[in-house]
Chain A
Amino acid sequence: MKHDVILRVGVKLLLPFILLFALYVHYHGDYGPGGGFQAGVISAGMIILYALVFGVDRAKRIAPEWLVERLVPAGVLIYASAGLPAMFAGKNYLDYTIYSHDPLHGHEWGVLLVETGVIVTVAATMTAIFYAFVDRGRSA
C-alpha cells in the first residue's frame, strides 16, 4: 500500500484518537457504558488497524510478540493482586475499602485496579489472536 498516501496519513492521524477513546472508555467506565474489556478491545483495534495498513512486521516493531505474550498474564497478575494488599492490612482478600478512608472511594480505586488488569489482558489477547491468524497464513 505504498501509494495510498491518504490512507496512511489518515490512519496515522486516527491512531492517537483511538487510544484516547480507549482510555476514555476505561476511566469513564464507572459512569458511562464501557470498562476495561471494551477499552482493551478498542486499544487492540489500534494495533490491528496499524497492522492492516502498514503490514504486520511494522506492527510487531511497536508491539513485539514476546511483549504481547507476557502482557496476557501480566493483566491477570494486576487483576488478582488488587485484592492482596487487604490481606496484609488485616482484612479479607478482595476488601477494597483499605484503598481510601471513604469505603466507597476505596471500592472505586479497587475496581479501577481490576479494570486496569482487564484492559491489559484483553488488549494483549486480542493482539495475540490477530498475530496468530496472520502468521498462520504466512507460514503455509
Chain B
Amino acid sequence: MMAFEHHLPILQVLVPMFAAVLSAFCMRGTTAWAVALVASWAALLIAVLLAIKVFASPEPISYVMGGWTVPIGIEYRVDRLNAFVLLLVTIIGAVIMPYARKSVAKEIDSHQQAWFYTMYLLCLTGLLGITVTGDAFNVFVFMEISSLSTYVLIALGRNRRALLASYQYLIVGTIGATFYVIGVGLLYLVTGSLNLADIASRLGGASAEFQRPIIAALAFLTVGICLKLALFPLHVWLPNAYAHAPSVATVFLAGTATKVAVYLLIRIFYSVYGAAMPFTSLPVSEILLVMSVAAMVLASLSAVFESDTKRMLAYSSVAQISYMTLGIALANESGLTGGIVHMMNHGVMKAALFLALGAVFFRVGSVRLDDLAGIGRKMPLTMAVFVVAGLGLIGVPGTAGFISKWYLAVGAIEKGYWPLAFVIVASSLIAVVYIGRVIEVAYFREPSANVASTRDPPLSMLVPMLLLGAATLYLGVYTEWSAGLAQDAARMLLGGLK
C-alpha cells in the first residue's frame, strides 16, 4: 500500500477506468454491478487518502505522466480545491451504487445493464479525470469521455423521449466542448503551454501584447464551460436530460456532473486568469452575477409550474447551480466559500431528492405530481428523506442549504451588494412553493388507488437515501468537513488572485 501512495492521483482515474473495461466484459448485470460497486468504493478510499495528504501539507501533490517533465508532460495536480471536489464525486458514486442494483434491474433491460454500469464507470472516470488533471487539453479529453458516456446514460431511459433529450444534450455538449477547446487553443497560441499552472505563470507576461486573444479565449472557455454547467440561458438541455434519464443516472449526474463543470470554471477563473492578471479587469464577474440572479428567480419559477417532479427538481438544479456561480462572481472569501461548499451541499441534497424520487418510481412507476397523492403515508421513510432534503434546498437553518446560503449572503453584503441578499432569500421562498407543492400532495391528499398498496423500497435502496438525508442534517450543523475545507480552498484560490 505504501509503495503505491505516490501513485494515488493516477489511481484515482485508473481504478474506475479499468473497472469500466471489466464491466464491459461482464455478460450479466449483477456481475457488472459488483465491479462498479467495488470500484466506486475504492475510488472513495483513494479520494479520502488524497484529501488527508493534501490538507496536511501546504504544497499540492504533483504526479507526472510517463517521466516527461512538467510543462511538456501531462501533470496531475491535486490541491485543496480539487481534493474537495474528488471527495464529493466519489462520495456520491459510492453511496448510490448499493442503491443502483434494484433500481437499474427495474428500469433497464437485462442485456443492457452491464453497459449501463460500464457507462457509469466511464462517466466517473471522466469526471474524476477533469478534476484531478492539471493539463488543459487533458481536461478536454476527460470532458469528452464523461460527455459521451453521459449521452448513453441518458439515452438508456425507458421513455422514447430519452433519445431526444440525449440528442439535445449531445448537440449542446459538443458545442460546449468545442468552445472549450477553442479557448484552450487560443491560450496555447499565446503562451505556448497546455499546463494550467504554466499557462497561469506565462499569461501575465503575454497579456500586454495579446490582450484580445486572451479575452477571446476567456469568453470561449466561459461559454463552453457554462454550457456544461447549465448556467441560466444555456440550461435548456438539462431539464429534459434529467427527467428522462434512468433514476440512478439522474442521481449521479445531478450530484456530480454540473459540480465538476463549476469546479472547472473556478479553476480557469481563479487559478489561471486570476493568478495572471488583475481579476477585476476581466469583465466576467458582472456577467456571471446577472446570469446567476436571473437563474435563481426564473428557473425557480419554472420549477413551480412543473407537474413532473423530476423535471421540477431539474429546474431547481439550474437555480441551485447559480448559487455556485454567484459565489464565483462575488470573488471574496465568504462568497467563494459559499459557492464551493454549495457544490458539496447541493450534491448531497439533490442526490437525496432524486434517490427518493427513484424509489417512488421503483414502487409506483411514475413521478408525476398527480400520481404521488398520499404517498407520504405509504412510503414514510422515502418521503421523510424527500422532506429533509427539500428543506435543505429551501435553506432552513439546521440543514446543509442554510450554511451555503449564509456564506453567500455574507459575501454579498461584504461586497456591498445588499439587494443580492434579498434575491437569495426570495429565491428560497420560491423553493418553499415548489417543495411545498410536493409535500402537500404527498401528505395531505387521500392515497389514490395506484399507491394504496405501496410501501418503502427494499433496504439496499433505503439505506443510501437515509444516509444522504442524514448527511443533509449533519452538514447543516457540523461544518468542519464541508465549509471548513471549502474555506481552506477559497483562501488558497484568493491567495493567488491578483
Measured CB to CB, the residues of A under 8 A from B are: 70, 72-74, 76-77, 80, 83, 86-87, 91-97
Contact = CB atoms under 8 A, between A and B. Distances in A.
Contact of B63 (A83, A92, A97): A92
Nearest to A78: B21
B25 interface: yes
Given A72-B24, A73-B24, A92 B18 contact: no
Contact of B10 (A76, A77, A93, A97): A93
Contact of B66 (A73, A80, A93): A93
20 contacts: A73-B24, A73-B25, A76-B24, A77-B18, A80-B14, A80-B17, A83-B66, A87-B4, A87-B7, A92-B10, A92-B63, A92-B64, A92-B65, A92-B66, A92-B67, A93-B10, A94-B65, A95-B65, A95-B67, A97-B67
Contacts of B10: 92-93
Nearest to A103: B67
A95 B66 contact: yes
Nearest to B64: A92
Contact of A93 (B21, B24, B65): B65
Q: Is the interface of A mostly helix, strand, loop or mixed?
A: helix
Interface string B49-68: 00000000000000111110
Contacts of B67: 91-92, 95, 97
A94 B66 contact: yes
Given A83-B66, A87-B7, A93 B25 contact: no
Identify the interface centre among A76, A83, A93: most chain B CB within 10 Å of its CB.
Answer: A93
Contacts of B21: 73, 76-77, 80
Interface in B1-23: 4, 7, 10, 14, 17-18, 21
Top 3 nearest A-B pairs (CB, nearest first) are A73-B24, A94-B66, A95-B67
Contacts of A94: 65-66
Interface of B: 4, 7, 10, 14, 17-18, 21, 24-25, 63-67, 118
A85 B242 CA distance: 41
A22 B482 CA distance: 55
Given A76-B21, A92-B63, 10 more contacts: A72-B24, A73-B21, A73-B118, A80-B18, A83-B66, A87-B4, A87-B7, A92-B66, A93-B14, A95-B65
Contacts of A73: 21, 24-25, 118
Nearest to A86: B66
Contacts of B25: 70, 73-74
Contacts of B64: 92
A76 B21 CA distance: 7
Nearest to B7: A87
Nearest to B10: A93
B9 to A, nearest CB: 9
A92 B7 CA distance: 7
A74 B14 CA distance: 16
Contacts of B118: 73
A55 B441 CA distance: 59
A70 to B, nearest CB: 6
